[in-house]
Amino acid sequence: MAEPSIGLAGLRFRRLHEGTRIRSAVGQPIVDRLYDIWDRRDVLRMLVDRGLRHKYANSVLGYAWSMLEPAMLVFTYFLLLKIFHRSYPMYPLFISSAILPWQWFASVVNSSTSTLRQNSRLITSIALPREIYPLAEVCMKTVEFGLSLPVLVLVAWIYGVKPSGYLAVWPLAFVLELMLCVGIALLVSSLNTVLRDIEQGIGMVIRMLFFLSPVLYPLSNLSPSMQRLESFNPMTGILAINRAVWTPAYWTGWQPVWFSVIGSVLILLLGFSVFARIERAVLKEL
């Protein structure tokens, strides 16, 4: 995303805060910072709306790209399996149920890495909690994830598959991934401002995690020792729930989910803590 200009959005921000004394959030406890973010939720919605409009402004297909990209990924991997004469039952449905939440996670990490630098003009000219900017990226990617879900429903309809009983647990997977995304976004956006190497290496790390996560293959295909090792990846339990909704035969138990709960909570707390601790250094760099 290109660096935003102040323009009409800036005028709306100024009107919103006109006559209001806004103290700096630097050094505030996390709870107070969360209250500040909640008080500015209208600004957060405004940033999300502006970001989505900017991304799809000159696009003919618009929001349809949110469905086309994962659909093409599913089709590509399906063709690769056919070329190498490998087969899994209902593989397009199998991979769709994992590739969509993975794309949500990966897109949050990639887009939030440089979000503070891209919004440096707003950050230095408008008194807002700085966490709002990476949070806006998370919200935008969450909206795009929601827009991509019809692809999964369509594939399930083609195969005549209805959601299993694990659908009742799916909100847990959604909340866990949202917490994970927020924590990672706060971490990488703040660290990348003071350490430029983060932006250079993040793409490589995400590609490595993609192949180390059970996206293209079922966790049940791994040995018990490898399954335990994979369970330490917070995305493993999240992907397991998403997959169990449509293909419960691949369910391997609750252990990865518990690790995802612990990992998502820890990363969320770490993200807020690191962001608050290095905020002064971040502001100097901007």
Quick one: pLDDT at residue 183? 94
> Pick from 137, 114, 125, 129: which is nearest to 5 by CA?
125
Report how far residue 68's alpha carbon sits from residue 112's, in angstroms, rounded to the nearest whole number: 22
Residue spans of alpha helices (H) in 195-254: 197-212, 224-230, 234-246
pLDDT level of residue 270 (50, 70, 90 thresholds): very high
Quick one: pLDDT at residue 15? 43
**Of the ranges 13-27, 60-74, 243-257, which is most confident?**
243-257
Average pLDDT over residues 228-255: 90
- List of residues 6+ apart from 191 with CB closer than 8 A: 198, 274, 278
**Helix and strand tally (H, E) in the chain?**
14, 0
pLDDT at 65 over 70: no
Is pTM beyond 0.85? Reply is: no
**138: its two tokens:** 């998370």
pLDDT level of residue 138 (50, 70, 90 thresholds): very high
More confident residue, 201 or 21: 201
Quick one: pLDDT at residue 58? 60
Three-state DSSP state, 224? helix
Average pLDDT over residues 141-146: 90
Q: At what angle do helices 170-194 and 132-159 cross, to 10 degrees?
A: 140
Report how far residue 111's alpha carbon sits from residue 21's, in angstroms, rounded to the nearest whole number: 31
Report how far residue 186's alpha carbon sits from residue 192's, in angstroms, rounded to the nearest whole number: 10
**110: its two tokens:** 């990639």
Write down the mean pLDDT value for the chain.
Answer: 79
Average pLDDT over residues 85-90: 64
Least trusted range by pLDDT, from 49-53, 111-115, 130-134, 257-261: 49-53
pLDDT level of residue 238 (50, 70, 90 thresholds): very high
pLDDT level of residue 24 (50, 70, 90 thresholds): very low
Average pLDDT over residues 51-64: 63
- List of residues 6+ apart from 100 with CB closer than 8 A: 70, 145, 148, 149, 151, 152, 242
More confident residue, 84 or 199: 199
Q: What percent of the chain has pLDDT over 90?
A: 26
pLDDT level of residue 81 (50, 70, 90 thresholds): low
**Domain locations in the chain?**
7-285
Q: Do 164 and 248 contact (CB within 8 A), yes or no? A: yes
Quick one: pLDDT at residue 198? 79
Quick one: pLDDT at residue 286? 63
Quick one: pLDDT at residue 56? 63
More confident residue, 41 or 166: 166
Sign, CA torsion 205/237/143/68: positive
Cα–Cα distances (Å) from 127 to 10, 16, 120, 156, 201, in that order, read: 12, 11, 12, 47, 31
Span 178-204, pLDDT tens digits: 999 999 999 998 888 888 777 778 888
Q: Do 3 and 121 contact (CB within 8 A), yes or no? A: yes
